[in-house]
Structure 1
Amino acid sequence: MEDAELLKKYNVAAPRYTSYPTVPYWDIESFNTQEWLNRVSKTYASHKDEGISLYIHLPFCESLCTYCGCNTRITKNHSVEVPYILAVLAEWRMYVDALREKPKLKELHLGGGTPTFFSAENLGLLINGIMQDASLAPDAELSFEAHPANTTKAHLTTLYQLGFRRLSLGIQDFDPKVQFLINRFQTPAQVAHVTSEAREMGYTSINFDLIYGLPGQCIDGLERTVNDVIDMHPDRIAFYSYAHVPWLKPGQRHYTEKDIPMGDEKFALYQFGRNLLINVGYEDVGMDHFALKSDLLFQSMATDKLHRNFMGYTSQHTHLLIGLGVSSISDSWTAFAQNPKTVEAYLDKIAQQSLPVEKGHFLTDEDLDIRKHILNIMCKNNTAYRDTIPERVQERLLPLLHDQLISVTEKEISITNRGKSFLRNVCMAFDEKLWLKQPKTQLFSSSI
């Protein structure tokens, strides 16, 4: 089957599988905060030596990027910074109390929003406050997301001095027409300047985010963007599919479906960009992610140590991920919990000295088993059953096998080179909750 035909067949709404079960299928009725804290404490006690992962959501942005699917709050009022930081630190202390000791951080990531909306001084206030109740593992990985147009030397210096060595710059596309439609502006010169400053300072891994399928995007414009990016030689590149979900993100109504590359046109953008990256030495690490062989992400994949959590692909495997801040999701391995999605609701919970958890899910034994297989497919490109592959899974895999996206033995499923672009579709074959209850409304973005 030709690539264009594969696209038509498999370009369906599909989860991104940063968790299993996916959030729409959580059993929120059975969830309660006290049992959640019990599970956090139990997981920590069982895996204390490996350390924990910490994600901090900083939601503020000065302007709305219309393509964005993240949880954001648009404001130019920077007086919101300190009250929000104090709330996050209060939430952190609640978790430290539940752990009954200062944990060791294996991984810390600042996401957004725009973390560099916050002043360097206030980011220092945040991280120093976190570290009062924690220690760093010797091989800890600290990273932050940044907007190239507002990242200052003070940002880079302050965070470097606090132990940060990874930086992720949101570029998306350099084409002026695309930037106008998505309301996000930064020049190659700005990106090159921040990248150069970071490297001179000692940052060891720099990631660029790119998106294909954006409104107004074309092959020529994407080629110029990718070539500019290649010239800057980032260690990692995330090459994401644009998720058009205007029913969830009204900002995407700034343009219409007529502006958006669809079908064969979108898949051509993906193939073109992917080939450019691979031809200059980037390795396809996993869904949407590429890395140089010198980068830890590639090395983790090559040694079967790659992991995936709510922050995406990571070289750090921990059983406990704590998410702080509005909308953040935590993972105790046997349970998930999500914070309120609005800043007001989050701050209200903190003001009441209540753990700001809004909903969650306790994983069943079946959930844990399926999660294992989905993680294996996402991170290792194969998975194996102890006995034979369940009949229902075999049946769902048949079309994928026929189209040479996977190979199958009695117990094992492996992704072929052709199948690497269709990981989400393969994972759907294991997703019992999705097959048991097909969504009646569009919950997920298209897989390609």
Structure 2
Amino acid sequence: MLNSLVNKYNIAGPRYTSYPTVPYWDNATFSLEQWKLSLKQSFIESNSKEGISLYIHLPFCESLCTFCGCNKRITKQHSVESPYIEAVLKEWQLYLELFDEKPIIKELHLGGGTPTFFSPDHLKQLIEGILKDAIKAEDHEFSFEGHPNNTTREHLQALYDVGFRRVSYGVQDYNETVQKAIHRIQPFENVKKATALARVIGYTSVGHDIIFGLPFQTLEHVKETIMKTKALLPDRLAFYSYAHVPWIKGNGQRGFKESDLPSADLKRSQYELGKQLLAEVGYEEIGMDHFALTSDSLYESMKTRRLHRNFMGYTASKTQAMIGLGVSSISDSWYGFAQNVKSIEAYYDHLKENTIPVYRGHILNDEDLIIRRHILNLMCQFETSWHSDEGYFNELPDALIRLKEMENDGLLTIDEQSVKVTLKGQPFVRNICMAFDVLLQRNKPDTQLFSMTV
């Protein structure tokens, strides 16, 4: 039965880190001035109540991982560090000029690329520069993505000293054949050491990222990886499907043949096995593809219905405004999205002109805002409702018709005012969200824009 559902629903679809999704942004009518106005409005409404979030993209890596879909620049020249940090701090100053009061930083995340490409001193300089004209919230959550091979005690200590308490390490898979295929060689001992160092220093949440559906990966490989993960017991886990999108990411995802990838049936079996093993260890499933121990803040946020999803994935709390700094970063004012230019050279050129380096975006209309809420509800709570006019949109009856077959397959239940995803339907939540995605339904793409949902 499971395999037949996989075959039926394994289609290309968004991961819904935003709505509207990026391919459906109205870039033609978007402008930098509109974006600034939307952010200023959001800041006035929310800064004193909940603060803001920052995402900082650090794009440099010393080598290319062939599974990676991130915006990165491959180099071994560490002379690139200082100019980039100066540019990010200048961009931050341009944002600060929009606000009448100091921003309260609730969440801050360093992503990449490889944040630990940067020296500990440079990372500390970056964060101190950010905080110099801001207020660190009492309940702040600062996190970074660490590479197990190059995250040192000095990196962990420097970031701990400026408020970081959460780190996530990209593990992917421990099998050497798989690691060679994705060009990410990192022995278990390196991950063990990096995990232990973080805990000794005082980090309260250590996460690991594990991927299924990688080239040459078998069920036994997934089991082996999770059994080794059990020995380290990270506080939270991202266990997600490899998104094979070489038509978007270029040669970086062409390091192996299509035939080297597991079939859709095998991928789903890998997921089901991994999910079962993680449950036996004591992990609770959080939203889509995430797991946490009951002692972790992500689990607590799910239980208290505060779980949120944005371009950083699932977060334990929500801020209305999120500013993305650095190349390719995406910002979210709740009323609008804006993405920075993707090349480092263009990024520097904009900042030389004292211009926030945004090149595309979308201002949400009333319909967008309603549907965004429904999709967030489904992704975070596995249910949504329209008890009031605020939750109703014109094409809701059409969405419910599209969901009827999924209800017949036992993936969800529909009543007069709500949709609830069943346990059986949770692996197909992306498909369920697609029924609400009116922009996708009105203009289905002729070419594949998204990864497969399974």
The TM-score, its normalising length taken from structure 2, stands at 0.97
Question: Quick one: distance in 1 between partners of 2:175 and 2:296?
Answer: 28
What letter corresponds to residue 266 of structure 1 in structure 2? K
| Equivalences for residues 15-94 of structure 1 within 5 A | 15-49=14-48, 50-94=50-94
SS at match of 1:210: strand
Instruction: Please name the residue that 1:157 is paired with.
Output: 157
| Aligned partner letter, 2:236 | R
Alignment partner of 2:449 out of 440, 443, 446: 443
**Partner Cα separation in structure 2 for residue 280 and residue 79 of structure 1:** 44
Instruction: Output the CA distance in 2 between the equivalents of 1:13 and 1:313.
Output: 21
- Residue identity matched to 1:371: R
Which digits, 9 at most, give the CA deviation of each residue in 1:273-321, with x for residues without a partner? 1111011110111111000111110110011110111111001211000
Which has the larger displacement, 239-248 or 157-166? 239-248
Partner of 2:303: 302
Runs (4 or more) in structure 1 with deviation over 6 Å come to none
Tell me the equivalent position of 1:420: 426
Mapping of 1:377-388 within 5 angstroms? 377-386=378-387
User: What is the distance in 2 between the residues matched to 1:180 and 1:351?
Assistant: 41
Measured in 1, the distance between the counterparts of 2:418 and 2:41 equals 32
After TM superposition, the structure 1 stretch with the greater mean CA deviation from structure 2, 94-103 or 55-64, is: 94-103
How far apart are 1:223 and its partner, in Å? 1.0
Equivalences for 1:198-347 in 2 at 5 Å? Answer: 198-249=198-249, 250-347=251-348
Q: Secondary structure at the match of 2:12?
A: coil
Amino acid at match of 1:442: Q
Partner SS state of residue 246, structure 2 = coil
**Cα distance between partner residues in 1 of 2:99 and 2:430:** 35
Find the aligned partners of 1:402 and 1:280 in 2 and give their Cα distance.
Answer: 33
Letter aligned with residue 253 of structure 1: R
Distance 1:32 1:340 in 2: 14
- Offset, 1:83: 0.3
CA contact (8 A) 2:143 2:165 kept: yes
Shift of 1:267: 1.1
Letter in 1 for 2:429: L
Contact 2:149 2:186 in 1 (8 A): yes
The equivalent position to 2:399 in structure 1, one of 393, 396, 405, is: 393
Match of 2:190 in 1: 190
Q: Which runs of 5+ in 1 are unaligned?
A: none
Instruction: Please give the secondary structure, in 2, of the residue aligned with 1:109.
Output: strand
Q: Residue 446 of structure 2: SS of its match in structure 1? A: coil
Q: Is the 8 A contact 2:283 2:294 kept in 1?
A: yes
Amino acid at match of 2:422: T
1:101 to partner: Cα distance: 2.5
Q: CA deviation at 1:386?
A: 2.5
Q: Distance in 2 between matches of 1:364 and 1:90?
A: 31
Q: 1:19 is aligned with what amino acid?
A: S
Contact 1:40 1:99 in 2 (8 A): no
Question: Which letter does structure 1 place at the counterpart of 2:269?
Answer: A
Q: Distance in 2 between matches of 1:17 and 1:267?
A: 20
Question: What percentage of residue pairs aligned between the two structures are identical?
Answer: 53
**Is contact 2:34-2:363 (8 Å) kept?**
no
Q: Which residue of 1 aligns with 2:138?
A: 138
Instruction: Give CA-to-partner distance per residue, 1:389-433, whole Å, 9 cap, x none.
Output: 931011111111011111111001011111111110110010000
Give the Cα–Cα distance (whole angstroms) in 2 for the partners of residues 136 and 146 of structure 1: 22
Q: Distance in 2 between matches of 1:303 and 1:251?
A: 40
For 1:348-375, what per-residue CA distance to the aligned partner results, in whole angstroms no more than 9, with x for missing partners?
1111111100001000000000000000
Partner-residue secondary structure (3-state), 1:111 = strand
State the shift of 1:200 in Å. 1.0
Contact 2:308 2:318 in 1 (8 A): yes
Return the letter of the residue paired with 1:435.
Q
Give the SS at the match of 1:145.
strand
- Residues 106 and 316 of structure 1 are in contact (CA less than 8 Å); yes or no, is this contact kept in structure 2? no
User: How big is the shift at 1:55?
Assistant: 0.3
Match of 2:425, as an amino acid? G
Matched, 1:353 2:354: yes
Q: Which amino acid aligns with 2:288?
A: M
Which residue of structure 1 lines up, in the alignment, with residue 3 of structure 2? 4
Q: How many residues align?
A: 447
Distance 2:59 2:409 in 1: 42
Query: How far apart are the structure 1 equivalents of 2:382 and 2:255?
Result: 38
Q: How far off is 1:185 after superposition?
A: 1.2
SS in 2 for 1:254: coil
Residue 100 of structure 1: how far off its partner (Å): 2.6
Cα distance in structure 2, aligned partners of 1:230 and 1:399:
38
What CA distance in whole angstroms lies between the structure 1 residues aligned with 2:38 and 2:6?
41
In structure 2, the residue corresponding to 1:277 is in which secondary structure?
Answer: helix
Q: Which runs of 5+ in 2 are unaligned?
A: none
- With normalisation by structure 1, the TM-score equals 0.99
Residues of 1 paired with 2:405 and 2:56: CA distance?
Answer: 40
Shift of 1:10: 0.8
Q: Are 1:368 and 2:369 an aligned pair?
A: yes
